[in-house]
Structure 1
Amino acid sequence: MPESTPNLLKRRTLLAATAATAAVVGPLSATATASASSASSASSAFGYRDDGSNYVVDTGASLVFKVSKTNGDLTSLVYKGTEYQGYGGKNSHVESGLGTSTVTIAQSGSTILISVAYGTLKLYYAARSGENNVYVWTNKADTSVSATRYIVRVKAGLFLNDEPDSYTYTTSTIEASDVFAKSDGQTRSKHYSKVRVIDYDYVGWTTGSVGLYVVRSNHEKASGGPFYRSLLRHQSADGGGLYEILYYGENQTEAQRFGLQGPYVIAFTDGGAPSSALYHGNISTPWADSLGISGYVAASGRGRVAGVGITGRDTAYAYTVGIANSAAQYWGSARASDGYFSIPNALPGTYALTVFKGELAVHTSSVTVTAGATTTLNTIAIPSTNDPSNATAIWRINNWDGTPGGFKNADLMTYAHPSDVRAASWTGNVVIGSGTETSAFPCYLWKDVNSGITVYFKLTAAQSAAAHTLRIGVTTAYANGRPQIVVNDTYTSAVPSPPAQPSTRSLTVGSYRGNNYTFTYSIPASAWQTDAGTYNTLKIYVASGSGTTSYLSAGTSIDAIDLLA
């Protein structure tokens, strides 16, 4: 279907984010009332049958689905008589599909559970009488299955969109085999989801009369924390895909975690958003407590962490509190007024607790979670020295928050390739005192694109008589790209050692999230201009022998740059 087709604009949709920020373009408005996933009346009898190749489950509402008895694939999703599942001869499944598995089914009252065992991996599908939902759990015990992903494959033409994570209408590949350019110069890729894990509750599409979504789990067994970015859905000429990704192996900052994850929910609606009762922060599944799901821990076996408040915050920023260990991760937002936070439904254990200003860690400690109890923490005081923004600076480009937000092209880079026509020039120098220091400085630097960008600034006589420390904060790097500086063409810093960063693509696939790191450079007084009316020059180069060319040359994402007094 060509781009100009009028029906495209009527049916195109945006990624659904949290309830406060969800937006859908087309017949459903952003303020549409959420439609519950339960049918108002049962259209058929709840139950299951064996058709020889699949277990066929009728939810007693408007949904009938099939699971292969051979490998646990979801082979059919029929909602109100329409088949939604599958494209290109492929089914919906873990990763790219499991091999021969042991698949069993059992009914317990108003719940049907299908259990799939593939080596050490276990997969579960549950249906509840009268609901248009499929509840899914995954228990990955080791690395015998490479990643931890479930993909719902959807037939072509049922949901149409031309958003950043779609490449239906273009075939021009500009990077690898998964980043595309349209004829108008805009870029598209399944990687361009725009959002972090903390930002969304569900992902999917709507036509206005039918909605199909994956409601994400709490990601307690995922890796990367609250600010991790990954692909969430895609649309191509072949069909669409909705994902629940717990470990993808791309731009990962942590080792993968193992154990039971879920439920995540495949939900059909009459066009509205999925019921908020299914959201990871609200869902309650006492009906699953006695189903025998391997690794399942009921609410009674979990605990809560609550903090009285946080002092020392910069109230211009949102703060997040995360707890994590090798087995699980959780997080919660700190209240803007006083920093109060609550992290419920955590597995028992001892965790590292981290307070984030934006995405920058400014406090760490330890906390122990006990089953059936609340661990209450006294007020957390963030020392002034823990926030680099508190250091007195002669000048500063951007503020320290662990992200490149505010720099040139920063917002665009979460949903577009750096070569996108909408991107401002990646080159161009910066003058301190111009008022455009931050907006003129590019969010990313590459060895083969804009290495050597120059910052112009003046110093007073007293300032030029002293040595100063320059700091450059980064959020990630590609191919070990790191900044090396030259001041007034007289002082050249050593090439710093590269900090630990993910080894995969990041800057070109919508993610700046790696490991925040601060490079410091001690600049002697002899490097400065002695005339207070003369501009000093700071040239920032990208050093690395790795990478290839252009936007895949060695690069790095910038958080903030400052010259300390």
Structure 2
Amino acid sequence: MSETANRPVGRRTFVLGSAAAAGTAALAGPLAAPASAAGFGYSDDGSNYVVDTGASLVFKVSKTNGDLTSLVYKGTEYQGYGGKNSHIESGLGTSTVTVKQSGSTILISVAYGTLKHYYAARSGENNVYLWTNKADDSVSATRYIVRVKAGMFLNDEPDSYTYAPTTVEASDVFEKSDGQTRSKHYSKRRVIDYDYIGWSTGSVGLYVVRSNHEKASGGPFYRSLLRHQSADGGGLYEILYYGENQTEAQRFGLQGPYVIAFTDGGAPSSALYHANLTTSWADSLGISGYVAASGRGKVAGVGITGRNTAFPYTVGLANPAAQYWGSARPSDGYFAIPGVLPGTYTLTVFKGELAVYSGSVTVTAGGTTTLNSIAIPSSNDPGNASAIWRIGDWNGSPSGFKNADLMTYAHPSDSRAASWTGNVVIGSGTETSAFPCYLWKDVNSGIIVYFKLTAAQAAAAHTLRIGVTTAYANGRPQISVNDWTSSIPSPPSQPSTRSLTVGSYRGNNYTFTYSVPASAWLTDTGAYNTLKIYVASGSGSTSFLSAGTSIDAIDLLS
């Protein structure tokens, strides 16, 4: 029997969404017509508070623990699988759950120790608005998961493992019969890349529209699991804090709203996207930690000079309490970041994903902090240095290297991956595309780069640089040039969890520098010098879980 024999006929899926998809969006959320809200209200069935949105959605919340126990859209139940409900983390214990109607809004409040969680419904909308306030680490609340019944939205996307029965790694990476790999980790997207996640059958869409992630950690380029689909059912996630491949400490406070949205098959309304969503209707609901728009400020920069216009630039704000970011305009570097909580932030300008400028900015409630043009010093961008040769671009990611695109949604063992071995010749024209994006001690350590030098170049010492974006098990590069061998560098600070095998190269960018003496070079200008790059580390296990690292760029300076 073929793998597709048991799939429902006519089902299709929306993987991830951005504002670009809004043009085809079916109205859902603040734009929905209230005329259909005749049944709006709530009731108590003894075990749950039952909310009728007055549109096509009825949902239930447990009075015992705050679980979302039912999501009925147009008469069909979508919630739950394996006897599990939708909830924070793996569910809360006995909680205090209350309900209140304020005009056209119903708010259900859940209190469990120091954790506060909220569900809100608006009259005439097929949406559930959620907020989560984690005050400290006494409660393990790192995600909200919407559990969806099996068979509702089956698909064969990278984050679906319904048809991938063979385990490749741990208990969460799988392989299909054709050698393609699947895992809930393989989302393809950075936080900055999506506004919503979910599925569509063509006539019904179910999505989670993400929040602004101001209390999350990891910044705009963080990668995490976003959804999954298996024979048991599906899950859509709002990640509040996820410890895997994490580069920042956990932030605490109110996160939200994020939205569970049903549509007639189209994308969620762009009015629900975090950049567009206004929630003045929630200002007086008494949500713990809620800060209205009037209590927030804005940062605006008139421009950024010293940019390499071949790359996108992002401006980030971060302090221990919150994080924000915005894209710089390609023409002049103008940027604006609204909705910022008052405080002093580190402002970082990223070329691609590489930090090339850092400063400080203070935000006040109700005000706009206007910044004069930011000048990026030439020395801050390693791509500006004069090089004899260079592999890759200094942009904070392994983009352009062999297998780089595939690795955001597949395991390194995937049948679609090109060979991880193979040497590189400078001047071939394929230096970057032939060089593997990742190096492992047990897979391709000792890869060789061949290059020639002129007599003048061979007569002088040079600096060789290797930029990395993350590392696993303290993997870091040690080099040899012909008969000369470098010392083993100390490992920089990197996340301690899996990364390279679960779709993420995002760690802490770091540049290793090696001072190669003139005596290392060959004096024959017609001969190729041999650079060997090894992965040094006594940690890790074997194969793709041996010590490894992700490459940003490699160059030999003039």
**TM exceeding 0.5:** yes
Establish whether residue 249 from structure 1 lines up as the match of residue 243 from structure 2: yes
The aligned amino acid for 1:81 is: G
Q: Note if contact 2:133-2:255 (Cα within 8 Å) is conserved in structure 1.
A: yes
In the other structure, the counterpart of 1:322 is 316
In the other structure, the counterpart of 2:196 is 202
In the other structure, the counterpart of 1:463 is 457
In the other structure, the counterpart of 2:213 is 219
Q: Note if contact 2:127-2:261 (Cα within 8 Å) is conserved in structure 1.
A: yes
In the other structure, the counterpart of 1:508 is 501
Establish whether residue 32 from structure 1 lines up as the match of residue 8 from structure 2: no
Note the C-alpha offset of 1:35: 3.2
Aligned mate of 1:129, from 112, 123, 126: 123
Question: How far apart in 2 are the matches of 1:9 and 1:501?
Answer: 46
Structure 1 559/124 Cα, relative in aligned 2: closer, same or farther at 3 Å? same
Deviation readout 1:191-236 (Å, 9 max, x if unpaired)? 0000000000000000111000000000000000000000000000
| Secondary structure of 1:413 counterpart | helix
- The two structures have a TM-score, normalised by structure 1, of 0.97
Q: Note if contact 1:319-1:356 (Cα within 8 Å) is conserved in structure 2.
A: yes
Q: Note if contact 2:410-2:503 (Cα within 8 Å) is conserved in structure 1.
A: yes
Establish whether residue 549 from structure 1 lines up as the match of residue 538 from structure 2: no
In the other structure, the counterpart of 1:520 is 513
Deviation readout 1:485-513 (Å, 9 max, x if unpaired)? 0110x111111000000000000000000
Deviation readout 1:157-209 (Å, 9 max, x if unpaired)? 11111000000112100000000000000000000000000000000000111
Note the C-alpha offset of 1:440: 0.2
Q: Which runs of 5+ in 1 are unaligned?
A: 23-29
Q: Note if contact 2:467-2:512 (Cα within 8 Å) is conserved in structure 1.
A: yes
Deviation readout 1:268-292 (Å, 9 max, x if unpaired)? 0111111111100000000100000
Establish whether residue 171 from structure 1 lines up as the match of residue 165 from structure 2: yes
The aligned amino acid for 1:11 is: R
Structure 1 440/15 Cα, relative in aligned 2: closer, same or farther at 3 Å? same
Q: Note if contact 1:34-1:276 (Cα within 8 Å) is conserved in structure 2.
A: no
Establish whether residue 482 from structure 1 lines up as the match of residue 476 from structure 2: yes
Establish whether residue 495 from structure 1 lines up as the match of residue 491 from structure 2: no
In the other structure, the counterpart of 1:268 is 262
Question: How far apart in 2 are the matches of 1:241 and 1:44?
Answer: 31
Question: How far apart in 2 are the matches of 1:499 and 1:268?
Answer: 45
CA RMSD of aligned residues (A): 1.3
In the other structure, the counterpart of 1:25 is none
Aligned mate of 1:334, from 313, 328, 345: 328
Deviation readout 1:9-66 (Å, 9 max, x if unpaired)? 842324123122x5xxxxxxx9634433435742651111111110001111110000
Question: How far apart in 2 are the matches of 1:476 and 1:371?
Answer: 37
Corresponding residue pairs, total: 556
Q: Which runs of 5+ in 2 are unaligned?
A: none
In the other structure, the counterpart of 2:531 is 538
In the other structure, the counterpart of 1:4 is 4
Structure 1 188/542 Cα, relative in aligned 2: closer, same or farther at 3 Å? same
Deviation readout 1:88-131 (Å, 9 max, x if unpaired)? 00000000000110000011111100000000000000001111
Establish whether residue 442 from structure 1 lines up as the match of residue 452 from structure 2: no
For residues 16-31 of structure 1, the aligned pairs below 5 Å read 16-20=16-20, 22=21
| Secondary structure of 1:36 counterpart | coil
In the other structure, the counterpart of 1:13 is 13
Aligned mate of 1:138, from 132, 157, 161: 132
Aligned mate of 1:154, from 126, 148, 153: 148
In the other structure, the counterpart of 1:350 is 344
Question: How far apart in 2 are the matches of 1:9 and 1:250?
Answer: 36
Q: Note if contact 2:198-2:227 (Cα within 8 Å) is conserved in structure 1.
A: yes
| Secondary structure of 1:526 counterpart | helix
| Secondary structure of 2:133 counterpart | strand
Q: Note if contact 1:12-1:163 (Cα within 8 Å) is conserved in structure 2.
A: no
Question: How far apart in 1 are the matches of 2:269 and 2:58?
Answer: 19
Q: Note if contact 1:471-1:518 (Cα within 8 Å) is conserved in structure 2.
A: yes
Q: Note if contact 2:92-2:112 (Cα within 8 Å) is conserved in structure 1.
A: yes
In the other structure, the counterpart of 1:70 is 64
Establish whether residue 284 from structure 1 lines up as the match of residue 278 from structure 2: yes
Question: How far apart in 1 are the matches of 2:96 and 2:156?
Answer: 40
The aligned amino acid for 2:462 is: H
Note the C-alpha offset of 1:560: 0.0
Deviation readout 1:362-408 (Å, 9 max, x if unpaired)? 00000000100100000001011110000000000011000000000
Note the C-alpha offset of 1:344: 0.1
Q: Note if contact 2:17-2:267 (Cα within 8 Å) is conserved in structure 1.
A: no
| Secondary structure of 1:11 counterpart | coil
| Secondary structure of 2:357 counterpart | strand
